[in-house]
Amino acid sequence: MDEPRPLDERGVTRRGSLLRLGGLAAGVVGAVGWAHERAEASGRSGSGPAAVAAGLVTCVLSPEQTEGPFFTENDRIRRDVRDGRPGVPLSLRAGVLDVSTCKPIPGALVDIWHCDAGGTYSGFAQEGTAGARFLRGIQRTDRNGVAIFRTIYPGWYPGRTVHIHVRVYVGGDIVHTGQLYFPDALTDAVFRRVPYSRRPARTTRNPSDALYRNGGSRSLLKLTRNVTGYAARITMGVQLR
C-alpha cells in the first residue's frame, strides 16, 4: 500500500485532458519505467550509443510505483508550484529519455505533486485543502529532455518517508508512474530548519518505508546546495514502441 489513507482507484489514462493541455498527438507508448544518470564531466557531452560506450550515459531500470490517493486531474502547466507554501526552496530538474537509444525526449509532459512542509496535500476535502492546487504542476521537457520545477522540500506524514510523486506522458499516454526519494541524512538536516522543526520527529525513514524498499533506492534524487536551498535532479527513461 502506498499511503496510510484509503487508496482512490483511478483510471490509467489522461489522454483527453492532456491533449487539451499539451496539444500532443496521440501515440502508442510502452509502459516501462526507467531511470537515467548522465555524467556531467567538464567539457564532455553526447547522447545515444556512442555516449553509452564512452561512459557518459547509463540507462538503469527504475521501478514503477503507485500514484497514491492524492493524484488529481488537470494540473496546471507551470514551473513554480509553490503557491506561497513555506519551506526550504527546491529546484527539481526531471529528465526524460528513450531508453532504447539513451537519447532525451523533448516535448514529454512531467507531472509532479507532493505534500507541504506540514505533510498536507492540496485539493482534497479530507486534507482541508479542497480547491487548492499548491505543490502540483506539469512541465514540458525542453529540447534536452529536461523539465524544471520550483518547489519546496516536502514534509512528512505518518507511514511514509519523504517523497515526490511523478508521472511522465508522451503523446498523451502515461509512460511512467513513480516516486522520487531523498537521502535520509539530508532530510534530517533540512528538518532541523523552520517550518519543519515545528513538528515532531518523523516516524518513517527510507529503510522502513514499504514502497522505498521496493526499488526506491533507484529513484533517489541527487541533491546539491545552492544559494537559496537545494537543487535536485533525476532522469527517467521510457521505452517507446
Average pLDDT over residues 87-93: 98
Average pLDDT over residues 200-210: 96
For residues 180 and 103, what is the distance between their CA atoms, to the nearest angstrom? 21
Closest CA to 219 of 184, 189, 178: 178
Confidence tier at 63 by pLDDT (50, 70, 90): confident
Residue whose entry in the numeric block shows the C-alpha cell 535520509: 184
CA atoms within 13 A on the CB side of 68: 23
Percent of the chain with pLDDT over 70: 74
Enter the pTM of the model: 0.78
* Domain annotation for the chain: domains and CATH numbers: 15-240 (2.60.130.10)
- Give me 100's grid cell: 532504447
CA atoms within 13 A on the CB side of 180: 28
Other residues' Cβ atoms within 10 Å of the Cβ of residue 102:
23
Confidence tier at 20 by pLDDT (50, 70, 90): very low
| pLDDT above 70: residue 52 | no
- Type of residue found at 200: P
pLDDT of residue 172: 85
| pLDDT above 80: residue 39 | no
| pLDDT above 90: residue 145 | yes
Distances (CA, A) of 212 to 17, 121, 184, 207: 30, 20, 12, 7
| pLDDT above 50: residue 5 | no
pLDDT of residue 4: 39
